Amino acid sequence: MTRRVLAMMTVLLLLLSGCASGSGSGASQGGGIRLDGVEVREYKGEKLGSVNDFRENSIKGPQVVDAATYRLAITGLVDTPKEYTYSQVTSDHAAYEKVVQLDCVEGWSVRVLWSGVLVNDLIQEAGAKSTANTVIFRAADGYSTSLPLTYIRDNDILLAYKMNGVTLPTERGFPFQLVAQDKWGYKWIKWVTEIELSSDTAYEGYWESRGYTNSGDRDKPSLGR
Ligand SMILES: Nc1nc2c(c(=O)[nH]1)N[C@H]1C(S)=C(S)[C@@H](COP(=O)(O)O)O[C@H]1N2
Ligand SMILES: [Mo]
């Protein structure tokens, strides 16, 4: 009990001192630079879940991705196909943060602070052709999922490289997990390697082709069509 109170006070002190607030890529509202490795557990007065609250049930287990050789490809219906290194994604693009909850169809949820780049910023650099209306995401484990281009644009959907201020651990999808807010967990693809612009609105990803809804809307049942 006393140990818990002490731990809470330490976190509070860290937050107050500013060294645990703000964006990892530079200055923040608090003016401090958040040091990687210190998990943020409260954001604007809201208690957050933890990196350790997620369950690992990926189709082939955690994928170990080497940041040095990693590439993110933007392909399909684009004017200029792109290939980014890890640091080109994280350092050459504006950073955004938001608190979003992931809900798995298996009945668990975690709400954390995500930091990342806008998927739409990457798409805009490649230049989506006017016929593109679907975004297909592929990952290092062969997993895939898709979402409407309008959903990606209208909701400022993030490709996250940090949660609670900490670089995504291997289990959480390093280097990138899609923050598919308002969608079931199976849309939150981890270990993303490719973003393909497509006109195939009927494309079905890994779980979608196994009976889960293609919309993946969190406010609707996940099974059936
Ligand atoms: N590449 C890949 N991404 C994936 C999965 C997967 O098996 N492979 N599983 C999805 C499912 S069903 C859920 S609920 C979330 C869970 O995220 P977590 O493993 O970080 O808890 O990841 C999603 N992203
Ligand atoms: Mo899930």
Task: Please name each of the domains of the chain with its CATH number.
Answer: 3-210 (3.90.420.10)
Q: Is the CB of 176 under 6 A from ligand 1?
A: no
Task: Tell me the per-residue pLDDT of 83-104, one tens digit each, with 9 for 90 and over.
Answer: 999 999 999 999 999 999 999 9
What percentage of the chain has pLDDT greater than the value 70? 86
Q: What is the mean pLDDT of residues 63-90?
A: 98
Binned at pLDDT 50, 70 and 90, residue 31 comes out as low
**Gap from CA of 158 to ligand 2 centroid (Å):** 18
pLDDT of 34 reads: 76
Q: Is the pLDDT of residue 56 over 70?
A: yes
Cis status of the peptide bond prior to 148, with omega within 30 of 0: no
**Gap from CA of 59 to ligand 1 centroid (Å):** 8
Binned at pLDDT 50, 70 and 90, residue 35 comes out as confident
List the residue whose alpha carbon is closest to atom 15 of ligand 1.
185
Contact between 114 and 179 under an 8 Å Cβ cutoff? The reply is yes
Q: Is the pLDDT of residue 5 over 70?
A: no
List the residue whose alpha carbon is closest to atom 11 of ligand 1.
186
pLDDT of 28 reads: 43
Q: Is the pLDDT of residue 19 over 90?
A: no
Q: Taking all residues of the chain, what is their mean pLDDT, rounded to a whole number?
A: 89
Mutate which of 60, 145, 190 for ligand 1? The one with the most ligand atoms within 8 Å of its CB, which is 190
Distances (CA, A) of 3 to 6, 8, 42, 72: 5, 9, 19, 44
**Gap from CA of 10 to ligand 2 centroid (Å):** 34
Listed in sequence order, the DSSP H helices in the chain are 2-17, 86-91, 119-126, 149-154
Q: Is the pLDDT of residue 40 over 50?
A: yes
DSSP β-ladder status, 192-198 and 72-76: parallel
pLDDT of 225 reads: 60
Q: Is the CB of 143 under 6 A from ligand 1?
A: yes
Distance from C-alpha of 167 to C-alpha of 115, rounded to nearest angstrom: 9
pLDDT of 37 reads: 79
Distance from C-alpha of 28 to C-alpha of 41, rounded to nearest angstrom: 17
pLDDT of 2 reads: 53
What percentage of the chain has pLDDT greater than the value 90? 82
Q: Is the pLDDT of residue 27 over 80?
A: no
Q: Which amino acid is at 18?
A: G
Q: Is the pLDDT of residue 162 over 50?
A: yes
**CB burial of residue 17 (10 Å; 0-12, 13-18, 19+):** exposed
